Structure 1
Amino acid sequence: MFGDADKVFDEMISNRGKDFHVLGTIRDRSMDFPLNHGVVYGFLMECCCRNDMVDEAMEIFVYSSTQLGVVIAADSVYRM
């Protein structure tokens, strides 16, 4: 389902390395779009974990659940 998005995330990692903040780039405007935010944030968490960016995944989880009230599927959280 997220094959193309996976490729984009992996490309960002290969081009910029792991020294960037995923949440910082989407924090301000993410709720402006009619998306399933739980799925989007869960996907980003999984991508971060897959690339050994667990701290970034935790930051996404804490921000999305406490600041935005987004519910992330349990399977995404358990994979962290």
Structure 2
Amino acid sequence: MNKEDDKNRPDKLDKLDKLIEFFKTLQQKKPRPDQADYSSWDQTEEAYQKEQAQWLKKVKQAKREKQQSDE
């Protein structure tokens, strides 16, 4: 590094710290891990497969409806 870089370095670090703090204040789209819902961990494989099939059916139905409305 040259002397010019050393002069600007503290200012750049301050800006970087401010940027990091800004991003920490933004809303998260995913729930934080400590807020996760673990209520279905005791779910059987059969119940899980049934739930997944219902979810997939809803997704396919919504996709079909969207395609029909776009036409």
TM-score (norm 2): 0.28
Larger Rg: 2
Report 1 or 2 for greater relative contact order, CA contacts < 8 Å, sequence distance ≥ 6: 1
Name the structure with the higher helix share.
Answer: 2
- TM-score normalised according to structure 1 size: 0.26
